[in-house]
Structure 1
């Protein structure tokens, strides 16, 4: 099974019998067996015929729509509800103890994986500033782990507690990204802070694009498992966004995207000519050549085998994400505490 990335502007996806036919400007058509497609990502000005969309809907293949630069626009899928699990999702929104435990585990799991990546990358460099960042992340993790308000007061203060946790998440990121930037070897690529909407330098452009791809993978797997992707735990707001996808992607940012970005840079696979000049909004983005190279590398990364506690043998990262989503379902239905995926050095 594979993801179909449609990036070439002016392309058209049609259906012919049991195949999808991708027509590219000034190129031969590409025939794709429908049964081999598990998700479609559409970037920018790409047409999908009604027949192609109907086929994808009937086969419950999610279609994600993004701008040409990779900003999320929306998605299309056929409803696939697990009514028991979704009922539990709504019930858990009124369970402050569950919300706190889940949100805290998300923050700690993300921080742990970020710290482990810094430890691995700094073995040879041995930078004191990176060691300092690691120590600060450890202190933040300890603080979050000891955040344990009285059960009686929890129903009244849960919004403030969740806001505190998001604050700790931000503090950890403020330690992590400058240290991550110091471990990038090519001098033409620098990272001093995380910025987005728009990304204002090439490294942030790569991170933003990678996180968008990761989020859409998590979103499609949530749909596959019949969960409501809008009911988050750590990320909760009145905006109509896939808050649960934001929650469950956190633990994968470092092992999948950050590892990929720093490998592409330090192995000098990516050069400055893969990026657009600064746009009127100040943003810098991957250009078409850069997006294609990044998509190829991302797909290789997310299909890299990894050990997961719920599998006997190594499984691709994409499968590991699905196993984590199933852990989340068990936490909803069976009151089993959710445990994030923890990277080992």
Structure 2
């Protein structure tokens, strides 16, 4: 089993990262503020004006450590990683299968089925834990709609139909997402999903957390030798990690959505942690991003039971387990891709 390592998030503007021996050094205003052994780091995410020395970039690629560069507010810019890992035959098989509509539809359906099922569990757990504080009728109706979407998946035959059902399920889920917010309802209102830019505090949290998921999923796919750009559910688009987005679908409700709801409902963030830009976009304060990143790292350490491998693992290893299962399926070692169903 792969060891779960920490991700280094660098948020302070003007920071400079460099190599020193077998360590990563973070400097601010020419002053060393952090030094970490390379073997304790699983990835680096740099926000905004953060520079890396060429020697550190080369060092990280040799050690199979991905570096992602984001804007200060969390929009993905670029990533740096080493030479392609894994057997070239695996990627060739991936490309052939991505061009086969019948195979593509099967993968896409599995991704979407797990996403819908896990979204339904998020709703049902809220009903169970906060029954007296929520509109039970609305949440039960939404859960029923998601169950119907799952049944519809059993009857479709094309990837386009799968995408249509995924869209309908997402609409049903997000239509009641505001009702999953139990505390601070006056300050945190969610009406619909808005991405570029996020137009409310909840969307700002979701978008930022989804970016973190994309980094971790992309790194996991590269580790097992798959091409994160060539997906099955998401169409090919230059610069878009389609396969990483595919595998993210089943993990969004479990990791990202529940994290965002927890931060709000536990009052770890409040209205003053956000500000509105002139274009209407909502952005988080530095302290808010720091809190989210810390809780995201903590959440990755939490144990969760995986029904397919039949053991409990840290949530942070889900990325690598699912990437490895997909690679095994593409190679023909197992029959059918087993997505992660939350229990």
Q: Please, which of 100, 104, 107 is the counterpart of residue 99 of structure 1?
A: 104
Find out whether 1:142 has 2:142 as its counterpart.
Answer: no
Find out whether 1:223 has 2:222 as its counterpart.
Answer: yes
Name the structure 2 match of 1:78.
82
Instruction: Provide the C-alpha distance between the structure 2 equivalents of 1:265 and 1:25, rounded to a whole number of angstroms.
Output: 35
With the length of structure 1 as denominator, give the TM-score of the two structures: 0.92
Q: Please report how far the alpha carbon of residue 126 of structure 1 lies from its aligned counterpart in structure 2 after TM superposition.
A: 5.4
Contact (CA 8 Å) 1:310, 1:323: kept in 2 or not? no
Contact (CA 8 Å) 2:43, 2:65: kept in 1 or not? yes
Deviations 1:281-328 (A, max 9, x none): 321021211111100001111221111135454211121221111111
- Structure 2: 5+ residue stretches without partners: none
Which secondary structure state, in structure 2, belongs to the residue aligned with residue 68 of structure 1? coil
1:303-314 map, 5 Å: 303-311=301-309, 313-314=311-312
RMSD: 1.6
1:256-335 map, 5 Å: 256-276=255-275, 278-311=276-309, 313-334=311-332
Name the structure 2 match of 1:90.
95
Which secondary structure state, in structure 2, belongs to the residue aligned with residue 285 of structure 1? strand
Instruction: Provide the C-alpha distance between the structure 1 equivalents of 2:214 and 2:154, rounded to a whole number of angstroms.
Output: 26
Name the structure 2 match of 1:246.
245
- Return 206-215 or 315-324, whichever deviates more: 315-324
Instruction: Provide the C-alpha distance between the structure 2 equivalents of 1:200 and 1:275, rounded to a whole number of angstroms.
Output: 11
Deviations 1:126-185 (A, max 9, x none): 52111111111111111122113xxxxxxxxxxxx3233222211111111121211202
Name the structure 2 match of 1:151.
none
Distance 1:265 1:238, change over 3 A: closer
- Return 197-206 or 134-143, whichever deviates more: 134-143
With the length of structure 2 as denominator, give the TM-score of the two structures: 0.92
Find out whether 1:109 has 2:106 as its counterpart.
Answer: no
Name the structure 2 match of 1:15.
19
Q: Please report how far the alpha carbon of residue 27 of structure 1 lies from its aligned counterpart in structure 2 after TM superposition.
A: 6.5
Deviations 1:192-235 (A, max 9, x none): 21111111000010010011101110001111111111110000
Instruction: Provide the C-alpha distance between the structure 2 equivalents of 1:59 and 1:280, rounded to a whole number of angstroms.
Output: 42
- Structure 1: 5+ residue stretches without partners: 149-160
- Return 289-298 or 278-287, whichever deviates more: 278-287
- Return 14-23 or 246-255, whichever deviates more: 14-23
Identify, as 1 or 2, the structure richer in strand: 2
Q: Please report how far the alpha carbon of residue 33 of structure 1 lies from its aligned counterpart in structure 2 after TM superposition.
A: 0.8
1:130-209 map, 5 Å: 130-148=139-157, 161-185=158-182, 186-187=184-185, 188-209=187-208
Which secondary structure state, in structure 2, belongs to the residue aligned with residue 13 of structure 1? strand
Structure 1 segments, 4+ long, off by >3 Å, are 25-28, 309-313
